[in-house]
Structure 1
């Protein structure tokens, strides 16, 4: 009997995760699956022929730099929150939000550049895929900017600090995911264009 009690007392607690963080990770996994399916479809469709060759807009390089800088400023915000440097947190979240909006403006200009090159959503699958990739990413980035604004408001109300990090951690995770997703898409397009 004593052996059984010793075994029960040594039982480990199950791993626990904040329910909202778990939901965020499920959402991220679903987005990864969607983009993996779309990039696979791109490769399959490209192999069928009838594929318009055109150069990617140069704006993509600029937006890639912007998204990397925004990830750096987001990390700065996270470190500032963990250290209770609330003024730096507010500044860093503000900078990240501005960079997120700048990325979206850059994406708009990439579409303008595509139209200037006579690449449209309808007409050739190469152009269609490019618009779908960038448009779907932009929709997710808009949700990321909204999340940043919510976190910015929370930080302005001093609700984010070292003892209350859940919202900040979720925003950091999502923002870094969006940045990584863009870099994946851009590299994919460069290598498969």
Structure 2
């Protein structure tokens, strides 16, 4: 009997992850695969010729700065939650939400800039790729903004604190991923345009 107790006490804990976090990571991996496929298709199609050359909208520089600032503000909110600094948590989430919406508005203006250059969704494949890249990213960012609103509501209800961070951690992970994805797309377009 004593041997069994020793064996049970010495048993290793299996690696585990919160099921919702695991689902989030599966979703992130699938999005990475989609964008990796799309950027590969871009390079292949560009090499075939009949490729319209145009300048990237300057607003991409601003939206890139906005997305970086939004990641910083969300990380500050997360650090504040770990310290149970509820006001800073709420302020950080609100700043991130406003910056996320500003990013989406900036993307809309980037489409207007493309139209002003006579670059349309239908027509040359280079324009189509531009709209698909930015549009698909915008759809994911809209889901991130919705997630931020849900987390902000939880924070306003004081449901997020140092002992209950799973929802916020998932939001932070997803938001940082979206920021990194945008920076990847922007750098990719700068280098391959």
Which of the five TM-score ranges fits, normalised by the shorter chain?
over 0.9
1:106 partnered with 2:109:
no
CA distance in 2, matches of 1:29, 1:22: 11
Give the alignment of 1:90-169 within 5 angstroms: 90-169=90-169
User: Counterpart of 2:34?
Assistant: 34
Q: Is 1:59 paired with 2:59?
A: yes
| TM-score where L is the length of structure 1 | 0.96
**Number of the residue aligned with 2:11:** 11
Report the Cα offset of residue 6 of structure 1: 6.1
The gaps in structure 1 that reach 5 residues or longer are: none
| Structure 2 counterpart of 1:70 | 70
State the Cα distance separating 1:11 from its structure 2 match: 3.1
CA distance in 2, matches of 1:45, 1:6: 63
- Following the alignment from structure 1 to structure 2, what is the Cα–Cα distance between the partners of residues 156 and 9? 42
Distance 2:23 2:170 in 1: 10
Task: Give the aligned partner of residue 189 of structure 1.
Answer: 189
Q: Size of the alignment, in residue pairs?
A: 193
Cα displacement string for residues 70-117 of structure 1 (whole angstroms, at most 9, x for unaligned residues): 000000000000000000100000000000000000000000000000
Query: 1:130 deviation in Å?
Result: 0.4
Counterpart-to-counterpart distance in 2, 1:3 and 1:26: 41
Pair 84,3 (structure 1): closer, same or farther in 2 beyond 3 Å: closer
1:3, distance to aligned residue in structure 2 (A): 8.9
TM-aligned CA deviation for residue 10 of structure 1 = 3.2
SS at structure 1 position matched to 2:144? helix
The change in CA–CA distance for 1:11 and 1:39 in structure 2 (over 3 A counts) is same
Once residues 157 and 97 of structure 1 are traced to their aligned partners in structure 2, the CA distance between those partners, rounded to angstroms, is 17
Report SS of the residue matched to 2:104: helix
Is residue 79 of structure 2 the alignment partner of residue 79 of structure 1? Answer: yes
Unaligned runs of 5+ in 2: none
Q: Offset of 1:168 from its aligned partner? A: 0.4
Q: How much has 1:13 moved relative to structure 2?
A: 1.4
The answer to whether structure 1 residue 174 and structure 2 residue 192 are counterparts is no
RMSD after superposition: 1.6
Deviates more, 1:124-133 or 1:7-16: 7-16
Q: Distance in 1 between matches of 2:19 and 2:142?
A: 23
SS of residue matched to 2:54: coil
Provide the rounded CA distance (Å) in 2 between the counterparts of 1:11 and 1:42. 51
